[in-house]
Structure 1
Amino acid sequence: MEPRSSFEDEIPNQTFARRSANYQPSSWDYTSLHTLSNTLKEEVNDRLAEELMQEVRNQINDGIKLQRQLELIEAIDRLGLSSLFHEEIYRVLSVLSLNNYKEVILCGLRSTAICFQLLRRFGFQISEGIFDDFMDGDHNTFLPTLSDDLIGLLSLYNASYMAFPGEKKMESARSFAVKNMTRKNMQEILPGSIESAIGHALDLPLHRRMPWMEARMYIDVYELEDGMSPALLHLAKIHFNKVQSIHQKELNHAGSWWTRLDLGKTISFSRDRLIECFFYVVGIVHHPDYGFCREKLTQVGMLIATIDDVYDVYGSLEELELFTQIIDRWDIKGVVELPYYMKICFSALNDTINGVANHLYVDDRLEAIPYIKRVWADLFKSFLVEAKWHKKGYIPTLKEYLSNASISAAGHVILFLAYILLKCKITKETLQLLQDFPNIIRLPSLVFRLCNDLATSSVEQERGDVATSVQCYMKETGASEEEARMYISMLISDAWNDMNEEYSTCSKPQFPQRFIDASINLARMASFMYQHGDGFSAPSHQIKGSIKSLLLNSISNNLNERDM
C-alpha cells in the first residue's frame, strides 16, 4: 500500500476536527538497541552457577534451623530463583503444610508470617488461624508485646496481602503492623535498612510487586543483610545477568520490528512506547524459556496502544463504526473501505495474528484462530462503546462502566494470547472458557483498569477524554474526588483478595502454573506502572530508571573473589 498525503480524503464528505493527546515522543533511541551488550562468559558462568546451586541446595537440606530455612527460601523467591529450586522449596513447604505449625509458631512472628506468605504464594492451603497464638483471647487484635518487633511486623504486613475475602484476622494484622511501623517514636529507633524496607513495603507490598524488578532491587538489599548467603547472592547475580542478556536480544528484535513497521511515524498521534511495552511484558513473563511469548506480546501491546489511540483520540465515529464492523467480520476485502491509517493498523494486526498462528501445530492453529479473532473483535467493540460515550458526553454508572472497561483495558487479549504463547494445552473447551472471561482473566483485568484510572483520571479529564471509574462514581453517588478514589482503591483491594483465593483454590486444576503466574503478574505490573502516575504513556524518571536497571545495566560481579 502506498501512503496517502491525507487520511481524511479516504472517506468522502468527512469534516471532522481531529483531536490530539499531545503524547511526548519516545525518549529512547531505537537505533542503539543493537549495540546492547551484556558480556557474559556463558560457559564459565554456567559451570559456576551449577556449583553455586548445589551449595544452596545443601544449605536448604543440611538440617539448618527452621527459621533459617524459611528465611533462605524467602530470599530465593525474592531473588527470582524459585524455579531453580522448585523441588527443594516444595519439599520443605509440603512438610510444613502437613504439620500443625507449632514449631513455626515457636520461632516467632517473623517466621510464622513468612511461612504463611510462602505457603499461599506456592499454592498450599493454610488458614489465617496460624496467627491465633499472637492475638488476644478473642483473636480480635494482636498482642501489644509485638509492637516493637519491627522485622516481625514487616513480615506480618507483607503476609496480610495474601488474604482471602472475609479474613478479618488478616485485616487486623495489616492495621496492627501499619500502626506500629509508622509510630512517631519509632522513627528514632529505626535502623536505616529497616526504615528503607518498611518504606518500600508501605509504598507497594511485596505480593503486589513486579517479581523480576523485585529480584533486581533485592539483590542490592540482600547483599547487606545479616546472614546473607554468599553462594545465593553470587548465583542471583549470574542468573540476573544471563536472563538480562536474553531480554536484550529480544528487545533488539522488537526494536527492529517496530522500526520496520513504522507505525510510530505514520500514525504520529499515537503513543510510541516500545521500550515501556517490552518492560511491561517482561514483568508479565520474564522466564528465559518464553522469548517468543515476549516477542509477540510486545507486538500485541504496541498494537493495542495504537488502536486505543485511534478510538480515544483520532478517529471519527463513522470511521470507528466501520473499523469495528470489519474487525468483527474479519473482512479482508472490506479493508479497502477504511482510511489509510486504519488499513495499516489492520494489516499489522493481521500479520501479528498470523505470526502467532504459524507458531502452532496445524490442528491447534485451526482451533485457535477463530477465538483469537473473537477476543480482538470484543476489544474493538468495547473501544467503540467508550468512543460513543465520549461523543455523546455520556457518563455511565460505575457498574455499566466496569462491565465495558474490564474488556477495554485489553487484559483479556493479553492473557488469552499469553495462554497460547506459553505453550499451554489448546482445546476447544479451554479456549471457550478463556473467551468467556473467567476470573483468572477478569480479576487482573479489573485491577489493570482501576489502577490505570487512578493514575490517569485527572489528566484524561483535562484532555476531555471519556469518564473513568472515578468520575462515574462521583456522578452516581455525589462523592468527592477523594472519596471516589478511596472507593476505587477499595475495589482494587477486594479484587486482589479474590485473586488470592482464585489462584490458590480454583484455577490450579484448570490452568498450568505458568499461565496463573502470568495472570497475576498482569495485575502486579499495573500496580507498579500506575503507582505514581501513568508510567506507560508518560513514563517518569523512576520508570525510566527501572527500565535501565532491569534491561540495560548489568550487575557487576567479580566472580574470581568469592568470599564463602
Structure 2
Amino acid sequence: MHPGRERECLKILRRYMRGAVLVVLLRWVIAVDCLRDWFPMSEEWMTDRSNQLKEKVLGILEACTTIVDQLNLVDTLQHLSIDHHFKEQIVSILGNIHASESNSSNLHEVALRFRLLRQHGLWVSPDVFNKFKDEDGAFNVHISNDPRGLLSLYNASYLLTHGETGLEESILFARQNLESMESDLKPPLAEQVRRSLQLPLPKTLKRVEALHYMSEYKDEPMHNSSILELAKLDFNLLQRLHLKELKELSRWWRDLYKEVGLTYSRDRVVECYLWSYTAYYEQEYSRARIILAKIVAIIIMTDDTYDVRASLMECRQFNEAIQRWEESAISILPEYLKKFYLKLISTFKEFENELKQDEKYRVSFSIKAFQVLSINYLQEAEWSHHSYKPRFNDQVEVSSICSGAPLACVGLFVGMGDTATKEVLEWALSCTDAVKASAVVTRLMNDLASFKRGKNKNDVASSVECYISEHGVTGDVAIAKIGSMIEDAWKTTNQARFELAHLFHAVQRVANVSISMWFMYANQKDAFTFSNGLDMTIRRMFVNPIRF
C-alpha cells in the first residue's frame, strides 16, 4: 500500500475506533478495496505455510505415545482452536483413551481426561474423582494446594448432567479454593484461573479462548513453536474469510433494508453474523454461516414488526400470511408489510437455489420453524395488547420459542454438509432436549439482562416479572430461580451428548448456540442489543490480525 494511502486509512480507522458505533467500524473495514494489503503476508504464502505446519503437527500427534501427552496435546489444539484440522486423529486418540483404564492419581490428568471425553460424547463416571476424597466424601486437604488440578476439576465439573450432585460440590470446592489463592498465582495460570472463574471453559467460545491462549501458550513449559505458528496463521486465514462474508452479508442487509423499508427494525447485521459465527467458524461452513446469519436477520425484523410497529390486527394478518406462505397472501396485509412478506418468501427460495438438488428439502424445515415462531410471536402480541401477564410456565414456553433459538437451531443445518441429515432436521424442528435447552438459555439470560436494565414499553411481561407476580417473591428470589433453570438447561445440553450419541455432531452445534448466550448475556448484560461491550472482542476476531 502507498505510504500516503496507509496513513489516510489509519487516520480514518482511528477516528471510527474512538466512536461507539461498532457496525460503522466494521462496515468501513470490510468495504476497503485494498483488503489484501491490510495484512503483511499474502494469502497464498500463508496457505502454503499453514499446510506445511499441519503436517508437522500431525507428526507430533502421531509421535505421542502416552495418554498424558495425548490429552495435553488435544487440549492445546482445542485451546488454540485448530483442532478442526485434526478431527479424525483426535476422535481416534480419545476413543482409545476412553477404552483404556485410567490409573492416574494426578488430579489435573484425571480431570482433563474427564472433560475431554465428555466434551466428545464419551461417558465418564464422576466416580473417577472419588480417589481424591476421604471416607466422609469430602475432598482431601492436600489437593487444596494444587491450583492446576483444581482449575481442571472446576472446568471438568461443568460438564455435569442432571442428578450429579457430586460434581456440583466439586464446582463449589474448586471455586472456593481457587478464589482464595488467585492473587498468589503467576501467569499464565493466574489469567486462566481468572477467566474460568468468570466463565468456565465449557461455556467459553473457542475463538475467544484462542485469542487469550495464543498469548499465553509460549509461556507453557511444553509449548511447541510450530503449533503456535499454525494457530496464528489459521486464525488470520479464517479472519480474511470471515471479513469477506461480513462484506457480502452487509451488502445483502443494506439492499434488504432499503427494499422493504422497515425503518423501525434494529440494524444488527454484525451481531447477526456473530451469532452464526459462534455456531461454526470453520472454512467448510461458509455457506451455512451466511444462510444462518440471514435467518437471524429475518428473525430480528419479524420480531420488531410484531413488537414495535404492528397493531394487534396487523399482527394477526401477518401471521395468517406466514402460515399460508404464498405470494397471493399479500392481499390481506397492510401496505408497509407487503414488500417484507414477499422478500421473506423470495429469501427462502434463494436458500433453495444455493443448495444441491438432494439438499433443497432442508429449506422446508426452516420455513416450518419460522411459521412456529410467528405463531408464538402472535401469542406474545395478544398478551401485550391485552396487558395480560401469563403464568410463569406459559410465559417460558412461548417466550423461549420467541427467542429465535429454535429457528436458529433448525437454520444452522440448512447450509451444512452431510451432518445435516433429515433425521437431524426433524430432531431440531421437534425442539426437544438440547434444542429446547438452548431456547430456554437464550430466553432466560435475555430476560435477566432486560430485568436489570428495565424493559421496553411494549414488551410482554418477562419470565422474571411473571415469577415474581405468580409466587409473590422478591426480584432476587426470582433471579435465583431463573438462574437455576439456566443451569438445568445446561445439564440437559450436556446429557444430550450421551443420550443422542448418533447425533453428537448436531448436538454439539446446538450446544455452541447455547454457549454463545453466555458470551452475549454474561453478568446480566445484553451485549446483542447493546454491542459496545463486545467492541474490543469483535475487533480482535474480525478486524485485527494476529501479529507474529
Q: TM-score, normalised by structure 2?
A: 0.90
Shift of 1:418: 1.6
Which structure has the higher relative contact order (CA within 8 Å, separation 6+)?
A: 1
SS in 2 for 1:126: coil
Distance 1:63 1:241 in 2: 28
Distance 2:290 2:349 in 1: 14
1:161 aligns with 2:154: no
Q: Match of 1:46?
A: 47
Match of 1:444 among 430, 438, 443: 438
SS in 1 for 2:116: helix
Match of 1:340 among 335, 341, 364: 335
1:381 aligns with 2:378: no
Distance 1:421 1:191 in 2: 45
Match of 1:467 among 445, 461, 471: 461
1:536 aligns with 2:534: no
Shift of 1:264: 9.6
Q: Match of 1:288?
A: 283
Match of 1:170 among 162, 167, 170: 167
**Residue type at the aligned position of 1:147:** S
Shift of 1:459: 3.4
Shift of 1:121: 1.0
Distance 2:75 2:437 in 1: 26
Match of 2:470 among 468, 472, 476: 476
Q: Report 1:2-13 matches (<5 A).
A: none
- Asked whether the 8 Å contact 2:307–2:458 carries over to 1, the reply is no
When the two structures are aligned, how many residues end up with a matched partner?
A: 524
Match of 1:421 among 407, 415, 422: 415
Bigger shift: residues 256-265 or 528-537: 256-265
- Asked whether the 8 Å contact 2:182–2:193 carries over to 1, the reply is no
Task: Specify whether residues 42 and 280 from structure 1 end up closer, same or farther in structure 2 by C-alpha distance, changes over 3 A only.
Answer: same
- Asked whether the 8 Å contact 2:321–2:332 carries over to 1, the reply is no
Task: Specify whether residues 458 and 464 from structure 1 end up closer, same or farther in structure 2 by C-alpha distance, changes over 3 A only.
Answer: farther
Task: Specify whether residues 481 and 110 from structure 1 end up closer, same or farther in structure 2 by C-alpha distance, changes over 3 A only.
Answer: same
Task: Specify whether residues 308 and 459 from structure 1 end up closer, same or farther in structure 2 by C-alpha distance, changes over 3 A only.
Answer: farther
**Residue type at the aligned position of 1:252:** K
Q: Report 1:71-86 matches (<5 A).
A: 71-86=72-87
- Asked whether the 8 Å contact 1:25–1:271 carries over to 2, the reply is no
Task: Specify whether residues 264 and 491 from structure 1 end up closer, same or farther in structure 2 by C-alpha distance, changes over 3 A only.
Answer: farther
1:134 aligns with 2:132: yes
SS in 1 for 2:44: helix
**Residue type at the aligned position of 1:124:** L
Summarize deviations over 1:172-208 as a string: whole Å, max 9, x none: 210110111112xx25522243332222111111101
Summarize deviations over 1:329-350 as a string: whole Å, max 9, x none: 1131121332233223212321
Distance 2:378 2:61 in 1: 55
Task: Specify whether residues 364 and 265 from structure 1 end up closer, same or farther in structure 2 by C-alpha distance, changes over 3 A only.
Answer: closer
Q: Match of 1:181?
A: 178
Match of 2:501 among 489, 494, 508: 508
1:118 aligns with 2:116: yes
Bigger shift: residues 43-52 or 289-298: 43-52
Q: Match of 1:562?
A: none
Shift of 1:25: 9.6
- Asked whether the 8 Å contact 2:204–2:519 carries over to 1, the reply is yes
Distance 1:59 1:376 in 2: 47
**Residue type at the aligned position of 2:343:** A
Q: Match of 2:107?
A: 109
Summarize deviations over 1:420-460 as a string: whole Å, max 9, x none: 21134677665444322232321111111111111122435
- Asked whether the 8 Å contact 1:264–1:271 carries over to 2, the reply is no
Q: Match of 2:99?
A: 98
SS in 1 for 2:163: coil
SS in 1 for 2:166: helix
Q: Match of 1:17?
A: none
The structure where helix makes up a greater share of residues is 2
**Residue type at the aligned position of 1:211:** K
Distance 2:174 2:352 in 1: 50
Distance 2:117 2:182 in 1: 32
Q: Match of 1:60?
A: 61
1:488 aligns with 2:482: yes
**Residue type at the aligned position of 2:151:** L
Summarize deviations over 1:49-100 as a string: whole Å, max 9, x none: 2332233233333346543332221110111111212233223222221122
**Residue type at the aligned position of 2:462:** T
Match of 1:392 among 386, 392, 402: 386
Distance 2:60 2:131 in 1: 30
Match of 2:539 among 548, 558, 562: 548
**Residue type at the aligned position of 1:136:** D
Match of 1:239 among 231, 234, 243: 234
- Asked whether the 8 Å contact 2:148–2:189 carries over to 1, the reply is yes
- Asked whether the 8 Å contact 1:141–1:172 carries over to 2, the reply is no
Task: Specify whether residues 27 and 454 from structure 1 end up closer, same or farther in structure 2 by C-alpha distance, changes over 3 A only.
Answer: farther
Q: Match of 2:512?
A: 521
- Asked whether the 8 Å contact 1:327–1:380 carries over to 2, the reply is yes
Task: Specify whether residues 217 and 29 from structure 1 end up closer, same or farther in structure 2 by C-alpha distance, changes over 3 A only.
Answer: closer
Gap runs ≥5 in structure 2: 1-19
1:196 aligns with 2:196: no
- Asked whether the 8 Å contact 1:277–1:302 carries over to 2, the reply is yes
Distance 2:26 2:112 in 1: 43
- Asked whether the 8 Å contact 1:67–1:111 carries over to 2, the reply is yes
Q: Match of 2:315?
A: 320
Distance 2:80 2:123 in 1: 24
Gap runs ≥5 in structure 1: 1-22, 558-564
Shift of 1:117: 0.4
**Residue type at the aligned position of 1:134:** F
Q: Match of 1:411?
A: 405
Identity of paired residues, percent?
A: 28
Shift of 1:28: 3.9
**Residue type at the aligned position of 2:434:** I
Bigger shift: residues 187-196 or 465-474: 187-196
Task: Specify whether residues 431 and 117 from structure 1 end up closer, same or farther in structure 2 by C-alpha distance, changes over 3 A only.
Answer: closer
Distance 2:542 2:308 in 1: 31
Distance 1:430 1:212 in 2: 25
Distance 2:234 2:270 in 1: 22
Q: Match of 2:13?
A: none
- Asked whether the 8 Å contact 2:327–2:342 carries over to 1, the reply is no
Distance 1:166 1:521 in 2: 23
Shift of 1:111: 1.1
